[in-house]
A and B are shown apart, each in its own frame.
Chain A
């Protein structure tokens, strides 16, 4: 182009100034069309041509007039600055284009991740999407929770597993220039949740960060959904169990009703029964009771496990509560229970009366069953800041320290008692769950004397404390 310009200018025989401007146009054109290097080369060549062909003495590289030196350098400087500016502009526009493309790719990825089918492995879908959208030769996505690696793209990326794990451990990205492999950790909330290996990808740092964030969100979304699905499944299974048990309970109670009615009818007719038949009828009666209790408690347990228990709380006095509990026991047992009706100074407790009565009944029933006949059961109460403490102490053999937690487990019964005392092994579990649902607790205390000592705390509302 410089040569053409020179030829044209010579042929038309323009003056030196016009030729200089023509060269300048050429340099600008070169700078716009190609790059900075080409523009500089063009500038230098144009300067030399300008000097050689147009500045006197023409046909030599020497310059006679010092003014022409100034003109020559002005030309060179203008050419260089112009080509530099033009080149920068071009680079910026190129960058903007790349940036836009990146944005488009990231948008496409976020769309495809959001719309991905959650019934299939989202990791492998994400890896495939990344490979497709970013035109990557190989993608490997590592989920550090499930320890799975999902691959996408035509290349397999062998040995990438170790690198991914290493990057997740270190928390900083690694680039291998020789193989064009970029391995970066996926971080969400300051915690590494996986790693991403990309081969042959060209992305800015910002673009890479955005890509990693998108993948992190995709993984997290799947995890959250999975957790929610599991919780829902557990709830449904609990509810199903509870409903099923409820139905079974009804089926069991129907024949039990006939058995119980028949056995008690027999026992009620004292004159007609010989001692032997009385004993046998008593056994039928007791076992019917036991079976009925077992069914009731199994249903209650499943309701508690399924979270189906709704508390209907109100403020009641401890006295009222304990009296209600005692109403349940026969007069003979009631005489053994001491300390009821001596709790005047206590604030009202804020509880579901029916359920807490059931729990307390269980404690007293337990104490009656596991202590010698006729021995007293003592109930005492106390107050801590937001709780009323109720203690039930008996004079039985006590509970060995290692069993003090285990007796609250489902179906757990202490071995020596198993053979003597009828029970289901559910009562204490239910009692504790009821009290804990109220925000209180139930435990076995280190006894001060012999026997065992159960402590239950029941919540008190602030407005009831003063009363």
Chain B
């Protein structure tokens, strides 16, 4: 059994080559694509657990590919790019990526990021109810389905894990570092912009008015807090 199926998308053959060699050696099953269009085609044809996606590609760029992948899939996406400003990070996360690695990267770092992307928050049976019903939104913890305003909204695995972690610790401010480590893994802690982007995405998906959130509240200089208005009614 493989450790997971990874699609490597990069227009640079040598990078595809080295990633294929390295990841295969680590037990992953690897397929590659040269362009965004090819990647979408590959994802349509078979199932992958994770996409390593280069930002700078001719034709359909990485960001656009990422958005296209996100419209109908919760697949884990890690973006690879040579630019490392906060603006670029936010652009990648905004496009729906779960994580972001700056080129040139070291293999151990990339492997750690891949493990983090595969990671799922373990379900703590005692703490979480099966389903939570809030005003205008219903969140099912087991099926990972969210119904907002009568419609199902798609949450990426990381978005869902973040939401769940916050909901399992309601009404207390949770520091940035703790959130990052719980959802992404022990190697994380300083990437506050990840949280900013993900919380924004979540607000858009579950809040009635994302600019004036009722549930996902910012605790300035500390972190975030999930405000649970009353005791949720278990279904």
Contacts and interface: CB of A to CB of B under 8 A. Distances in A.
Nearest to B12: A254
A260 interface: yes
A324 interface: yes
A258 B18 contact: yes
B56 A250 contact: yes
B196 to A, nearest CB: 13
Interface size class of A (residues with CB under 8 A): 20 to 34
Interface stretch (A31-39, A49-57, A261-269, A384-392): A261-269
A260 B106 contact: yes
A180 B201 CA distance: 85
A291 to B, nearest CB: 9
A249 interface: yes
B56 A261 contact: no
Interface stretch (B19-27, B61-69, B113-121, B129-137): B19-27
The 10 closest A-B pairs by CB, nearest first: A260-B104, A264-B106, A258-B14, A264-B107, A257-B103, A257-B104, A265-B107, A253-B82, A265-B22, A261-B18
Nearest to B80: A257
Contacts of B85: 354
B17 interface: yes
Contacts of B18: 258, 261-262, 265
Interface in A198-257: 249-250, 253-257
A79 interface: no
B180 to A, nearest CB: 12
Q: Which of A254, A258, A261, A292 has most chain B Cβ within 10 Å?
A: A261
29 contacts: A249-B82, A250-B82, A253-B104, A254-B12, A254-B15, A254-B103, A255-B14, A257-B12, A257-B80, A257-B103, A258-B15, A260-B104, A261-B15, A261-B106, A261-B107, A261-B110, A262-B18, A264-B107, A264-B109, A265-B21, A265-B25, A268-B108, A268-B111, A285-B106, A288-B104, A289-B104, A292-B104, A327-B189, A354-B86
Contacts, number: 64
Nearest to B22: A265
A259 interface: yes
Contacts of B109: 264
Contacts of B19: 261
A253 to B, nearest CB: 4
Given A256-B104, A260-B105, A324-B190, 4 more contacts: A254-B15, A257-B82, A257-B105, A258-B12
Interface in B77-108: 80, 82, 85-86, 103-108
A1 to B, nearest CB: 98
Contacts of B110: 261
Contacts of A259: 104
A245 B104 CA distance: 17
Interface of A: 249-250, 253-262, 264-265, 268-269, 285, 288-289, 292, 324, 327, 354
A268 B189 CA distance: 24
Contact of B15 (A257, A288, A292): A257
A90 B111 CA distance: 104
B190 A327 contact: yes
A243 to B, nearest CB: 14
Given A254-B15, A292-B104, A261 B189 contact: no
A254 B82 CA distance: 8
A289 B85 CA distance: 18
A261 B82 contact: no
Nearest to A253: B82
Contacts of B21: 262, 265
Interface string B154-183: 000000000000000000000000000000
A296 to B, nearest CB: 8
A255 B25 CA distance: 21
Contacts of B82: 249-250, 253-254, 257
A262 B104 CA distance: 11
Q: Which of B14, B104, B107 has most chain A Cβ within 10 Å?
A: B104
B60 to A, nearest CB: 18
B87 to A, nearest CB: 9
A446 to B, nearest CB: 35
A60 B17 CA distance: 137
A190 B107 CA distance: 69
Contacts of A255: 14
A289 B21 CA distance: 21
Q: Which of B14, B21, B56 has most chain A Cβ within 10 Å?
A: B14
A114 B23 CA distance: 71
A191 to B, nearest CB: 47
A437 to B, nearest CB: 16
A16 to B, nearest CB: 110
Contacts of B14: 254-255, 258
B31 to A, nearest CB: 18
A426 B53 CA distance: 32
A261 B110 CA distance: 9
B114 to A, nearest CB: 13
Nearest to A296: B84
B194 to A, nearest CB: 14
A258 B189 contact: no
B97 to A, nearest CB: 18
Contacts of B80: 257
